[in-house]
Amino acid sequence: MPRRLRITIDYNRCVGSGICILTAPNVFRYNDQRQSEVIDPDGAPEGVVLEAAQGCPQVAITVEDADSNERLFPPADLL
Amino acid sequence: MTTIQDDLLAPEVIADPYTYFGQIREEDPVHWNSRWNGWLVTRYEDVVGVLRDHDHFSSDRMASFVLELRPEDRDRLSLLISYFSKWLVFTDPPYHTRVRMLLNKAFTPTSVERLRPRVREIIQELLSQVEHKRHMEFIREFAFHLPVIVISEYMGVPPEDREQIKEWSDETSRIFFIRADEPDRRERSQRGLQHLLDYFEPLIHDRRRHPRDDLITALIQAEERGDLLSDEELLATCTVLIFAGHETTTNLLANGLVALMEHHDQWDLLHENPSLVRPAVEELLRYDGPVKATFRWAKQDVELQGKTMREGDRLLIVLAAANRDPRKFSNPEDLDITRNPNPHVAFGHGIHVCLGAPLARLEGQEAFLALSQRLPNIRLADKPREYHRTIVARALKELWVEW
Ligand code: HEM
Ligand code: SF4
């Protein structure tokens, strides 16, 4: 079983670049304000979710292990 | 209500865009400027709304440019038109989406983070060259060099070619600065571009055969779902990176230093708390960022704040006004390096948000960290400061400092 992820978006940082949505369309989509929202944290393999989070120019996406709460992205030195 | 004068290049507007665009933001937030022949969009909510809405607003600057040209000029300037049409910043989806996704990986915060030690080193070298003099022209002797060295090294351009490339890049940029006294600026722009293309073409060919650990190699190898950048797209990208990465970052450093000197308590705060440098750079970007405004074109009739824009209308998206909108920021006229959150729009917003933002942030952080630690007594020299006469850039001509 792959681990379950918790994905959060910081709306003070998200500028609606669409990059995460293009990277993982089954995980993210545009909301009504044309910022990103999570539709399904398990919609893509963990590697793709992390790629989407890393691709965010604004470091707006946080990915955690939903059970252990371990933060998988971003590392402290990017914030 | 006072009347709004429409000369965007009037001396008082160039000297202090915040008072001018602030008045428009409060009195007529979506303002028709008959002299510039377009709409000014000034409130945060509307600026963000337009920049997020690429279905209704286009970035295709070349489309309107070409329409204004006589047929014989179109032929003469075909090289310029063909390459600028491939510059990310002037394109719409789907072309934009494709190329942006191919470039994105090389510019993520994670990717540029590994340049930090070298950026730090370059800054220390630059400061070592001037420290003993106890004064300098900050732009020419410091702020100009940092972004040029960083992007050139990252791209894999040899140091001895930097100056030449900068000159060609400046020539190329002439097309964007409307100056009545320069009738041949389009031709000069095209000539500059031709030089840049002639320079990068063999460099790209070389990296195809001999891959290196540099950005040009990374762009050649960049791949998304089997898709690659064509040779023409690679060339266009090299020219846009050289161009976009130069002056903007220089102006972040210069404008930021002025802001901190004029709010000396904030400078002292940074000096005593180096860990504040990240929010400090965000605040400098918000308070007096390098890009005052950008352009969009209405793709169809659309309404904003009760005004009706017609298809083809031109819009000036005034980032400088949005960044001081009291509806979004508390005490927007104050410089507060601890401001957090700070959702400023200095890097734009939406799909065109600055590709180089993570790199510019990194350079800004390291520069202000080094300056505040190494030259804590730096101060503005008693000389008048003048800004270049442009609508887009907030750019000082010179900045004299001493310590
Ligand atoms: C503090 C420095 C900088 C500022 C304030 C800045 C500002 C901006 C702004 C406002 C835009 C959006 C324009 C629009 O939406 O019409 C933009 C786009 C862009 N910037 Fe920057 N920029 C900076 C540094 C850089 C650097 C260092 C690079 C490259 C190394 C760069 C490359 C680009 C590119 C390629 C685009 C087009 C992105 C797209 O269309 O998807 N910029 N920049
Ligand atoms: S990549 Fe980041 S800024 Fe872009 S839409 Fe996703 S969360 Fe927002």
Going from the first residue of chain B to its last (403 residues), give the mean pLDDT of each consecutive group of 10, the final group possibly shorter: 88 97 98 96 98 96 85 90 91 96 95 97 98 97 95 93 90 71 81 94 94 93 84 92 88 98 98 98 98 97 96 97 98 98 98 98 98 98 95 96 98
Strand bridging mode B314-318 / B38-41: parallel
Question: Is the peptide bond preceding residue A25 cis, with omega within 30 degrees of 0?
Answer: no
CA distance B241 to B258: 27
> Is residue A1 over pLDDT 80?
no
Predicted pLDDT at B181? 60
DSSP B301-361: -EEETTEEEPTT-EEEEEHHHHTT-TTTSSSTTS--TT--S----TT--GGGS-TTHHHHH
Annotated domain spans of chain B: 11-402
Q: Tokens at residue B113, please? A: 């983070």
B377 reaches A (C-beta below 8 A)? no
Query: Do you know the residue count of chain B?
Result: 403
Axis crossing angle, helix B145-155 with helix B231-262, rounded to the nearest 10: 150
| Pocket of ligand 2, beta carbon within 6 A | A 9, 14-20, 35-36, 56, 58, 60-61
Instruction: Confirm if B82 and B74 have CB atoms less than 8 A apart.
Output: no
The SS3 of residue A53 is: helix
Q: Is the pTM here over 0.95, yes or no?
A: yes
Predicted pLDDT at A28? 98
Mutate to test the pocket of ligand 1, among B354, B361, B391 (most ligand atoms within 8 A of CB): B354
CATH topology for the B11-402 domain: Cytochrome p450 (1.10.630)
Q: Could you report the predicted ipTM of this complex, rounded to two decimals?
A: 0.97
Q: Encode B189-236 in three state secondary structure.
A: HHHHHHHHHHHHHHHHHHHHHCCCCCHHHHHHHCCECCECCCHHHHHH
Residue of A nearest to B93 (CA): A18
CA distance B122 to B117: 9
Query: At A30, phi and psi to the nearest 5?
Result: -70, 135
* pLDDT tens-digit series, residues B196-225: 999 999 999 999 999 999 999 999 998 777
DSSP B345-385: -TT--GGGS-TTHHHHHHHHHHHHHHHHHH-TT-EE-SS--
* pLDDT tens-digit series, residues B154-177: 999 999 999 899 889 888 887 776
Greatest Cα-to-Cα distance within chain A, rounded to the nearest angstrom: 35
Instruction: Confirm if B324 and B18 have CB atoms less than 8 A apart.
Output: yes
- The answer to whether A19 contacts B343, with C-beta atoms less than 8 Å apart, is no
Domains of chain A: 5-72 (3.30.70.20)
